[in-house]
Amino acid sequence: MLAMDTVINGLNITGVILMIFGVGGMITWPIVARLKWLRCSAEVEATVTSYTTLHSSGHHAPGTAPNHVEYDSMQAAIFSYTYEGNTYTSGPEVNTNGICDPLGTVRTFRVNPNNPQEYIASKKGNRATNIFMMIVFAVVAVIGLIKLIA
């Protein structure tokens, strides 16, 4: 048992919370993803019009980790698409392989007809995200179960 575990009347509350979060996430995540898929029902052609650089800082203060890189950066594509005569710009879109689409690349986006700024950029990327999140929630639920039976 970890020092941060809370036990009340022999029941590991941390385990219960992790189980609820894990199972709840496994139930709600696919529902939320499916509802967005249903909302974003109109298909449009989106074209890469520019790039932006995304930065993330490291976990250590400058100079405190050996071979530490202060900032990692990656290029992300900006797409433009037109829906019902209005042009919209996507947020930065990063491919799962980290390689940007070349300028002028055309991809199919799904947009919400009631709010065209809401979109789904990629079936493949969303599927990968959904699988990843389900794995995370399953791991959390298993950790909670282990805490309950330990």
Quick one: pLDDT at residue 4?
62
* Cα-based distances in Å from 128 to 6, 62, 68, 71, 83: 35, 34, 29, 26, 27
Quick one: pLDDT at residue 92?
81
Please list, residue by residue across 99-114, b when 16 or more beta carbons sit within 10 angstroms of its beta carbon and e when fewer do: ebbeeeeebebbbbee
Quick one: pLDDT at residue 65?
46
Q: Show the tokens assigned to 21.
A: 């979060």
Residuewise pLDDT in 10s, the chain (150 residues)? 444 666 666 677 888 888 888 888 888 888 888 898 899 999 999 999 998 887 665 554 444 444 444 446 677 889 999 999 999 998 887 765 667 788 999 999 999 999 999 998 876 556 777 788 888 888 888 888 888 787
Report H helices in 55-114. none
Query: Whole-angstrom Cα distance, residue 130 to residue 87?
Result: 29
Quick one: pLDDT at residue 141?
87
Answer whether 0.85 is exceeded by the pTM: no
Quick one: pLDDT at residue 60?
46
Q: Show the tokens assigned to 100.
A: 């940007």
Burial tier of 19 (Cβ tally within 10 Å: 0-12, 13-18, 19+): buried
Cross-strand pairs, 112: 115
Beta carbons within 8 Å of 61's beta carbon, 6+ residues apart:
none
Quick one: pLDDT at residue 106?
92
Quick one: pLDDT at residue 95?
66
Helix (H, G, I), strand (E, B) or coil at 110: strand
Quick one: pLDDT at residue 84?
95
Report H helices in the chain. 13-39, 123-149
